Amino acid sequence: MSIFGHPLHPMLVPLPIGAFVFGVIALLLFTVSGDPFWLQGSYWLAIAGVVTASAAAVAGFMDWLGIPGDSRNRNIGAWHLALNLTLVGLFFVSWLILGGFGGATGANATFALVLQVVGALMLGVSGWLGGEMVFGKPEEDQKPTEQPKQEQQSGQPAT
Amino acid sequence: MSTLVAVRGRPAILTDLFRPVLFSFSFGCFVFAAAGLIVFAGTEGLFFLRLSYWLAEAGLVTGLVAALIGVAEWSFALGEADARDGLWHSGRDVLVLTLFAAAWTSLGGFHGAPATIGRDITLAMFTEFMAIALLVSFEVSFAVEGRPRMKGGLT
């Protein structure tokens, strides 16, 4: 999925990354300092991350559908997708724990923090998998080529 | 601030992990800093102004670290054709960081997060949106599509 020839998914993924990671930091600051500003910050960033991650997921899923079924990137993409859906779920649950639709209350903030830290770690792994798809070894370098077999049969290098 | 295609094959810990993650975090912080200013302009809620300040600061710090790693990576590519693209790339990154530094300074800078809502945020909004426009239009797509688009567009 692209806009004016530019892939949409890589444009969108920095948004949930920024929101989720800074949200975790904010919640950590709240648990340390007790300053409600950081609780509010984490609350708003968690839901902002969930919303923007959902948008990025749609674009990413459309891209994933276009990857050939037997390729390495298809498999990596499936793990990437599964991890992302799980971590978005974790952040959504943490947002609900922080207050959900009723606004930030700070109840069970420690449990919410644990969920967010796990989610952030998953985000790191998922991001690494995403990087593998884009910057990793090119697909053609990893598939065994048929050329040596042809050479063996004909006795001459295939052209 | 995206990972240069030029440095593929360089130390993997830098190219595959640190820089893209730092860039993404930085970019996300910048976008939400700008969003925070919009919400502040609409609601006059001091919370969003303070959040915008901290997000801009976090984006600046990580953006600077990403830039330093980028310079180190770029130095590996010196003498190669890609080094010229890297120069353009770093020039834009410096511009983006400068614009956000100006926005952060106008929001309070080293004096700390704004404590009142009587602050003029016009400059901060203008510079932040300029910076984001630059990032979106060039950097992110270049991360994926690499040299051809750069050559066609800028060199």
- In 3D space, the residue among B2, B126, B87 whose CA is nearest the CA of residue A13 turns out to be B2
Mind telling me how many Å the CA of B40 is from chain A's nearest CA?
14
Position B138 scores a pLDDT of: 63
Would the pLDDT of A149 be above 50?
Answer: no
Check residue A21 and give its pLDDT.
93
Nearest to B141 among A7, A22, A128 (CB): A7
Average the pLDDT over B48-71 and give the result: 90
Q: Looking at the partner chain, which of B24, B35, B145 has a beta carbon nearest the beta carbon of A14?
A: B24
Nearest to B24 among A13, A134, A135 (CB): A13
The DSSP result for A39-93, as a single string, is: HHHHHHHHHHHHHHHHHHHHHHHHHHHTS-TTSHHHHHHHHHHHHHHHHHHHHHH
Tokens at residue B8, please? 């593929």
- Please, which residues have CB within 8 angstroms of residue B31's CB and are 6 or more apart in sequence? A14, A15, A18, B132
**Averaged pLDDT for residues A94-115:** 89
Res B11: pLDDT = 47
- Residue contacts between A and B (CB atoms, under 8 Å): 84
Residue A48 has pLDDT above 70, yes or no: yes
What ipTM, to 2 d.p.? 0.75
Q: What is the pLDDT of residue B155?
A: 26
Highest mean pLDDT among A42-56, A92-106, A122-136: A42-56
State whether A18 and B29 contact (CB < 8 Å). Answer: yes
Record: contact A41-B24, CB cut-off 8 A:
no
* The pLDDT of residue B133: 78
Q: How far apart are CA A155 and CA A159, in angstroms?
A: 12
**Residue A40 has what pLDDT?**
93
Question: Which alpha helices (DSSP H) does chain B contain, by range?
Answer: 12-13, 19-43, 46-76, 82-107, 122-134, 140-145, 147-154
Rounded Cα distance, B93 and B101, in Å: 12
> Which residue has 């606004």 as its token pair?
A103
User: Which carries the bigger pLDDT value, residue A86 or residue B76?
Assistant: A86
pLDDT tens per residue, range A66-87: 888 778 888 888 899 999 999 9
State pLDDT tens for residues A51-61: 999 999 998 89
Q: Which of A48, A128, A135 sits opposite B32 (nearest CB)?
A: A48
Q: Are B51 and A13 in contact (CB < 8 Å)?
A: no
Residue that the structure tokens 């080094």 belong to: B83
Kindly report the average pLDDT of chain B as a whole number.
75
List Cβ neighbours of B103 (8 Å cut-off, separation of 6 or more): B33, B56, B123, B124, B125, B127, B128, B131
The nearest CA of chain B is from the CA of A117 a distance in Å of 15
DSSP string, A105-121: --TTHHHHHHHHHHHHH
Q: Is the pTM of this model over 0.90?
A: no
- pLDDT for res A139: 53
